[in-house]
Amino acid sequence: MKKTPLIFSSAAALFLLNKKRKAWQRKQSLPSLLIEEFLQKNSTLINLSREWKDLRALENGNRPYHLPRGIQNFYQVAWDPALKETVTFGAERPAFWIYYLHGGAYWNQPLGIHYSFLHRLANQLDAKIVMPLYPKSPDFHAVDAIRMVADNYCAFLKKHRADPKKVLLMGDSAGGGLALSLLQILRTEKKPLPLMAFLFSPWLDVSDSNPKMKKLQQDDPLLELENLSFRGEWYAGDLSTKDPLISPRYADFSDLPPVDIFFGTHDLLYADAEKLQQEARQHPDWPLTFHIFENMDHIFSLYPIPEAEETIAIVRDRLLQCEEGVSHRTEN
């Protein structure tokens, strides 16, 4: 009986050693490898959960967002008294404002992982987070979400007297795509633009028509192409899914502030990032910078893993470069 604990500890040590070797071979951290393998083994449950959420959204309609009490207490999140449908938290006297558009395929409200990531960002950048709860599908469509965010952003600048040169626009997944829509609107309407934009795995093309996506599907443990296409078409409403305002993959990025885009190569949406990266090379006036991480999954930047901390370090460095007037057009 005394040998049993030794056997288990030896087996655990051997398991971790094998995983560390595999992570080293794939040039990724052990935590990121373990998370990816967990997601792969539970992909069926993830898809069922996603379908269940879609059905709930169809049944429940336009119900107001209720800020979870645990999130309120742990991260000190509160409704912004100056803005409608907007939450805020972070530094009281911020060096930067972060205007954040959360992901969720334009259907879902922010998750705990969003608040955790933003809490780390706020602490490391000495920033104040402002996150609008924009209208979601199926009751609303792209025109509703884009207009709300554009009006909300301008109201935020005015009511908080925020200097646009101290505002960072950020977003993940669908929120990243919406952030690019917002930049186009601000440019067209000649409204104040933020200092920079940082986008994590943005949804660049809701038509999901890139043929490479089918090949990437086998590597992506989170996204499912058919479900994604369904959501994207519904979000577009009466507009074309290839409208540049809805699918910024087809947009003109000239006369915009610096935009840094983060992607992992195991992300279904990386197919469109490659396309945009290739096109950006033909437009030296487009201020796009791509940061590509091998073997990383969708929205890996939000995970509690070393690669996510590397993402935040890049954001810090880019801010310093911007303040010092260093060129922004690089590729990693």
The CA distance from 94 to 105, in Å, is 30
Q: Give me the domains of the chain, ranges plus CATH numbers.
A: 41-324 (3.40.50.1820)
Strand, coil or helix: 180: helix
Give, in degrees to the nearest 5, the angle at Cα 170 between 108 and 328. Answer: 150
Residues 6 or more apart in contact with residue 123 via CB below 8 angstroms = none
pTM, 2 dp? 0.87
Rounded to 5 degrees, φ, ψ at 153 are -60, -45
**CA-based Rg of the chain, rounded to a whole angstrom?**
20
Per-residue pLDDT of the chain (332 residues; tens, 9 = 90+): 455 665 555 555 655 666 667 676 677 787 776 667 667 666 655 555 555 566 565 555 567 788 999 999 999 999 999 999 999 999 999 999 999 999 999 999 999 999 999 999 999 999 999 999 999 999 999 999 999 999 999 999 999 999 999 999 999 999 999 999 999 999 999 999 999 999 999 999 999 999 999 999 999 989 999 989 999 999 999 999 999 999 999 999 999 999 999 999 999 999 999 999 999 999 999 999 999 999 999 999 999 999 999 999 999 999 988 766 654 454 55
Query: Two tokens at 101?
Result: 């558009």
Q: Between the CA of residue 269 and those of 44, 113, 125, 205, 284, what are the distances in Å? A: 20, 19, 28, 8, 23
